[in-house]
Structure 1
Amino acid sequence: MNIRNIAIIAHVDHGKTTLVDRILHTAKIFRDNQETGELLMDSNDLERERGITIFSKNAAVTYNGTKINVIDTPGHSDFGGEVERVLKMADGVILLVDAFEGPMPQTRFVLQKALQLNLKPIVVINKVDKPNCRPDEVHDAVFELFFNLDATEEQLNFPTFYGSGKQGWFNDTLEPREDILPLMDGILKYVPEPEVKEGALQMQITSLDYSSFLGRIAVGKVTRGSIRDNQPIALVQADGSIKRSRVKELYVFEGMGKRKVQEVLAGDLCAVVGLEDFNIGDTICDVETPEALPVIHVDEPTMSMTFSINTSPFFGKDGKFVTSRHLRDRLMKETEKNLALRVEDTDSADSFMVYGRGILHLGVLVETMRREGYELTVGQPQVLVKEIDGQKCEPYENLVVDVPEEFSGKVIDLVTQRKGEMLIMESKGDMQHLEFEIPSRGLIGLRSQMLTNTAGEAIMAHNFIDYKPWKGPIPGRNNGVLISKNQAPTTGYSIDKLQDRGSFFVDPGEDVYVGQIIAEHIKPGDLIVNATEGKKLTNMRASGSDAATNIAPKIQMSLEECMEYIQEDECIEVTPKSIRLRKVLLNEEDRKRAAKQAGNG
């Protein structure tokens, strides 16, 4: 049977998952009357809520007698670890580019990985139905990007398709039509069949699946030979050790699910059940002649955060898993499938150092754990500093901001305060397109300030470039915070009196504890306040006037915003029901003592 393995790569929000929907519908894997909904591949709750792909997934369709394995990948640079390893399963890539935005930083990152693996590219310029779109200019920009990334002659000669995933058509010209058949024909024509080498079985495990019924499932592409049900195999691990095992069940991908088979030949993707203790990157080989494939290399993490058990007075109220053993087991389990994540023990048995690709990467992990019933405290994200040739170096990122012209001055001002350097400034329609090189530290907390200063109009994206010399101190948050003086529910009466001191993160009637951060101060410096005092009722008549207080609604911050907001002496208490900001040391005397020691030290 003919096979094509294709990965879909693009910047976040350029339409990958919608394109996969169209491919699934075109191949008629659903009944005509079946309710399917949108964004079929984003099956995880978090992905649906945020509208982004976090985990790469596989689907398979049959078109004109050819089986097409489609791999949907995440577009966010924080999940680059997912993209790097699944590209190993593909023989070609569809590079999707927005007809208005053109190639973005993330497009460059994933395309570079694909070209290094020598994959055959097909360029699809999506969203040509948008007003102000500029498909011809974008096509030239994509060609320039290929050229800058040292693409070969053959890769530079890429076919281009235009269309709109939303309207459901793609064509090799700008002429709209009813379907995406030209693109499907293009996949069969331009993507090469898998290269099959002669010899005994070789298959690299590139991702993990889990079923409560079957346990851990190894997923990968058979690069040589064939794999059969009940076959004894050798598992070669990253350190070179060899384990013997046996295949219990074999599945291939079909539609959105899997189908059980007896044998899978080289070139196809498959899922193997029954292996013990395997990791991503291990090679499944023939028992007689075990030969390993090169180990998957994933870029290093650039950020770290301390995860520790919840030590607040409200400990154990919401969560099911609250001990350090629970926390450790869960983090270790995560490192098995999340390749870009590393976990290390610290001096304290209750806390762990977790290294990841960025705030979103770590934030998604915390959010997932919270939904599973874990309680934990997370500290301020720190960038990883390296010493290169005796010089202190830190990670730098390429930051791209598209913003209406009248706000461009404010954006430049904000970024330069944080040690960013402007590289490019050009007009794109009514928008100004700005590109900067900025230390990763400068990005922490930048998004919320940027949105405030541009009335929510700025679109920013960034991705890691390299380690460069340390840029010196970067100013943090300007304002201090208001800290609760006692433990009790807050009252509307007290909050009303304190409103001119700051903006609150809590509503009246919410339980707070000593050392909890309940508001942002309007000035620098922290202030300890009593927000739990009730009104003294002297006579019956005055008791009703309390309802007349006008209290501004509390500021709602997402988990990532909280992570960007906190300073070094603060942390976030995360439980299944709430996210609270607090000082690391809840007692004021302890904080003063620590500040004194730091001053003396």
Structure 2
Amino acid sequence: MHLLNLGILAHVDAGKTSLTERLLHTAGVIDELGSVDDGNTRTDTLALERQRGITIKSAVVSFPLDCVTVNLIDTPGHPDFIAEVERVLGVLDGAVLVVSAVEGVQAQTRVLMRTLRRLRIPTLVFVNKIDRRGARDEAVLDALARRLTRSMVPMGTAAGLGTRDARFVPGLGPAALDVLAEHDEELLAAYVEDTVSYDLLRAALATRTRQALVHPVYFGSAVTGAGVPELVTGIEELLPVADGDPAGPLSATVFKVERGPAGERIAYARVFSGTLRARDRIPFGDGREEGKITAVSVFDHGTDVREDEVPAGRIGRLWGLGGVRIGDAIGERRTVYEHHFAPPTLETVVVPGPGVDRRSLHVALTQLAEQDPLIDVRHDEVRRETSVSLYGEVQKEVVQATLADEYGLDVGFRATTTICVERPVGTGAAVEFNKKDANPFLATVGLRVEAAPVGSGTDFRLEVELGSMPYAFFKAVEDTVRETLGQGLHGWQVTDCTVTMTHSGYSPRQSHAHQGFDKSMSSTGADFRGLTPLVLVEALRRAGTRVYEPMHRFRLQAPADTLGALLPVLARLGAVPQTTATHGAAAVLEGAVPAARVHELEQRLPGLTRGEGELESAFDHYAPVTRGAVPRRPRTDHNPLNRKEYLLNVTKRVGG
């Protein structure tokens, strides 16, 4: 039977987990529907998920249809847990994007759809909650086309909106033909000649959906089951099944890591080619490590079952890979693991409660970071503080509750602050030569720092011959450059730059009669790791860096007569409206606002708009800090900005 790895994505509270329950019930996997409100759904298994009624961790569940077995991955809808969604995207064959018929297109809906289209993931849209009071159909279709993409194909209409008898009436109408004709030349020709047949229309729909050029739209209700049979048919007939040769070279990707009852790591992996077998020794992490798989399980009929192997196309849970990390390739790497969403823009210092051991706290946070690498745990040895990066206040509450429930650690947090970045302003170069001046390290390192295009990240290049010294020394320089760029002149991550190694040199081992080699006079990797930060920060000083703060794009809808009170407040918060439109008695403003001021805007909005204001915001870009003092971040390294302090911390061979 064919396999399909399907993601369910949505803005929070659109009914994504309820739809998962309904699909499992429709497939006969469960006899009774679970409820998010009652905390007994199949995929929300964490105690916190059941208490809060939201999905925090992605979960996999399998069910059979007539022609295909579906591995369904339920993902979080709250924007604070977007990193969980990111990790799932790379293993999907197709997706269902759930939209509420009441709330319509929301901020997270737009973020998700943009990413699905950019990655060319075939996607169906399910407009849920047509049985709820306030449900809309034409208005939601208009918003889908206007705010997401014009390539939406209505698969029918909704009847009885807002009642328990609401139902989906299937049928491809003129609107579907208009959209499809834009993407299919054969269909367009038949359209012009008025010879379009249903078979031709359906074939074009299947082909263009699998190419992620169009997106079929269904209406229904996960609670009543309306429209779900038609959605199931669409999943079977319109989405592409998994491919891959079970006998081919091994290639898999790890998209989730969790801890078992005994603390062991369990990896979730999608196999794209070849077959993973229990007791096999396999390379993973781009060959960084090798491990023996001690056990595997696959997903089947709503649960996971132990098997001896995981063939191409399937998702398996793997035991035995002790050093495995999210994003690791197993065997050959199929694609480069990329970040599709913005990194966290907030951070907070974790404050241990009475009796909490700092070492135990650090271990616990490190384990949480294994499951969510974007948490980014930073430990400041000088101040004896540990900070974590976050997407929002809800995630902070979840981290706090997880530490209490799973690790028995009572913690608090300081106020949340914004994470900025630094970018070089110009070009700067520096060099220190082996055995010259005040260089206490047996190494020569020269580096040039140059600004690079926005969004390009960091690039390390060589302007010296690779054979001029042992490769391990070059690797030590590159690794240290990337590590040092984590804290620029103002303490923030330095990005969008190119670092070129312009000078290199080392002291080879010298042989002395009757004494053999004198190791004290030969270079080691530690010399290059010690010298590189000093050279790099000096090059950064000469280039100069500018601090950039994260900016959110916002869409604010409010009564038009409240603009007089709103606009001055927006100006004080640093928000810049870029477009203003009036629709009847309502005004819609779109623009940019500093991420640090979004929470304050949310708090003040009800009072400014008589409780009628609606705000959507999402990260958009970084902008230079232009207001007030340039924000600085406390350093957690040995501070190469202060040469004397750095050398005292790093080496006893202080020269000069």
TM-score with structure 1 length normalisation?
0.68
**Other-structure match for 1:327:** 361
SS of alignment partner, residue 24 of structure 2: helix
1:521-532 matches, within 5 Å, as: none
1:145–1:458 Cα change, 3 Å: closer
1:400 and 2:457 matched: no
What amino acid sits opposite 1:267 in the alignment?
A: G
**Other-structure match for 1:554:** none
Listed as ranges, the gaps of 5+ residues in structure 2 are 153-178, 184-207, 426-545, 634-656
SS of alignment partner, residue 43 of structure 1: coil
What amino acid sits opposite 1:96 in the alignment?
A: V
Listed as ranges, the gaps of 5+ residues in structure 1 are 171-179, 317-321, 475-567, 569-601
**Other-structure match for 1:61:** 63
**Other-structure match for 1:234:** 283
1:338 and 2:338 matched: no
Deviation of the 1:92 alpha carbon: 0.7
Deviation of the 1:408 alpha carbon: 6.2
**Other-structure match for 1:22:** 22
1:439 touches 1:471 (CA, 8 Å); kept in 2? no
**Other-structure match for 1:379:** 414
**Other-structure match for 1:184:** 232
Structure 1 residue corresponding to 2:274, chosen from 216, 225, 247 = 225
What amino acid sits opposite 1:338 in the alignment?
A: D
**Other-structure match for 2:296:** 250
What are the Cα deviations for residues 451-481 of structure 1, in whole angstroms up to 9, with x where unaligned?
A: 455565554432111111224159xxxxxxx
**Other-structure match for 1:86:** 88
**Other-structure match for 1:9:** 9
Q: In 1, Cα distance between the equivalents of 2:412 and 2:136?
A: 47
SS of alignment partner, residue 169 of structure 1: coil
Deviation of the 1:30 alpha carbon: 2.2
1:417–1:94 Cα change, 3 Å: same
CA-based RMSD of the aligned residues comes to: 3.2
What are the Cα deviations for residues 498-524 of structure 1, in whole angstroms up to 9, with x where unaligned?
A: xxxxxxxxxxxxxxxxxxxxxxxxxxx
Deviation of the 1:132 alpha carbon: 4.0
**Other-structure match for 2:337:** 295
1:309 touches 1:351 (CA, 8 Å); kept in 2? no
**Other-structure match for 1:157:** 214
What amino acid sits opposite 1:24 in the alignment?
A: L
Q: In 2, Cα distance between the equivalents of 1:343 and 1:43?
A: 26
Structure 1 residue corresponding to 2:575, chosen from 408, 414, 420 = 420
Q: In 1, Cα distance between the equivalents of 2:241 and 2:99?
A: 25
Deviation of the 1:206 alpha carbon: 0.6
1:407–1:13 Cα change, 3 Å: farther
SS of alignment partner, residue 159 of structure 1: strand
1:206-221 matches, within 5 Å, as: 206-213=255-262, 215-221=264-270
**Other-structure match for 2:404:** 370
SS of alignment partner, residue 187 of structure 1: helix
Structure 2 residue corresponding to 1:107, chosen from 106, 109, 134 = 109
Deviation of the 1:292 alpha carbon: 6.3
SS of alignment partner, residue 282 of structure 2: strand
1:352 and 2:386 matched: yes
What are the Cα deviations for residues 240-288 of structure 1, in whole angstroms up to 9, with x where unaligned?
A: 4432222221111124421111222211111111221111111222xxx
Deviation of the 1:362 alpha carbon: 2.9
1:338–1:267 Cα change, 3 Å: same
**Other-structure match for 1:447:** 602
1:516-555 matches, within 5 Å, as: none
1:270 and 2:272 matched: no
Q: In 2, Cα distance between the equivalents of 1:92 and 1:229?
A: 28
Deviation of the 1:53 alpha carbon: 1.7
1:7–1:370 Cα change, 3 Å: same
1:414–1:374 Cα change, 3 Å: farther
**Other-structure match for 1:478:** none
1:253 touches 1:270 (CA, 8 Å); kept in 2? yes
Q: In 2, Cα distance between the equivalents of 1:300 and 1:241?
A: 26
Q: In 2, Cα distance between the equivalents of 1:472 and 1:35?
A: 48
What amino acid sits opposite 1:283 in the alignment?
A: A
What are the Cα deviations for residues 533-568 of structure 1, in whole angstroms up to 9, with x where unaligned?
A: xxxxxxxxxxxxxxxxxxxxxxxxxxxxxxxxxxx9
1:100 touches 1:135 (CA, 8 Å); kept in 2? no
Deviation of the 1:80 alpha carbon: 1.5
What amino acid sits opposite 1:437 in the alignment?
A: A
Deviation of the 1:377 alpha carbon: 4.0
Q: In 2, Cα distance between the equivalents of 1:35 and 1:395?
A: 38
Aligned residues: 450
SS of alignment partner, residue 89 of structure 1: coil
1:55 touches 1:73 (CA, 8 Å); kept in 2? yes
What are the Cα deviations for residues 22-51 of structure 1, in whole angstroms up to 9, with x where unaligned?
A: 111111112469999554422223223333
Deviation of the 1:63 alpha carbon: 1.4
Q: In 2, Cα distance between the equivalents of 1:133 and 1:244?
A: 54
SS of alignment partner, residue 164 of structure 1: coil
Percent of pairs identical after alignment?
27
Q: In 2, Cα distance between the equivalents of 1:3 and 1:182?
A: 19
What amino acid sits opposite 2:547 in the alignment?
A: K
Q: In 1, Cα distance between the equivalents of 2:375 and 2:402?
A: 15
Deviation of the 1:366 alpha carbon: 2.2
Deviation of the 1:60 alpha carbon: 0.8
Structure 1 residue corresponding to 2:244, chosen from 188, 196, 217 = 196
What amino acid sits opposite 1:204 in the alignment?
A: T
What are the Cα deviations for residues 389-437 of structure 1, in whole angstroms up to 9, with x where unaligned?
A: 5343210112334556676665555433311123455678987655442
1:224–1:8 Cα change, 3 Å: same
Q: In 1, Cα distance between the equivalents of 2:33 and 2:127?
A: 31
**Other-structure match for 1:462:** 617
SS of alignment partner, residue 374 of structure 2: coil
1:7 touches 1:71 (CA, 8 Å); kept in 2? yes
SS of alignment partner, residue 347 of structure 2: strand
SS of alignment partner, residue 215 of structure 2: coil
2:574 touches 2:594 (CA, 8 Å); kept in 1? yes
1:424–1:370 Cα change, 3 Å: farther
Q: Which moved more, 1:190-199 or 1:81-90?
A: 190-199
Deviation of the 1:328 alpha carbon: 1.0
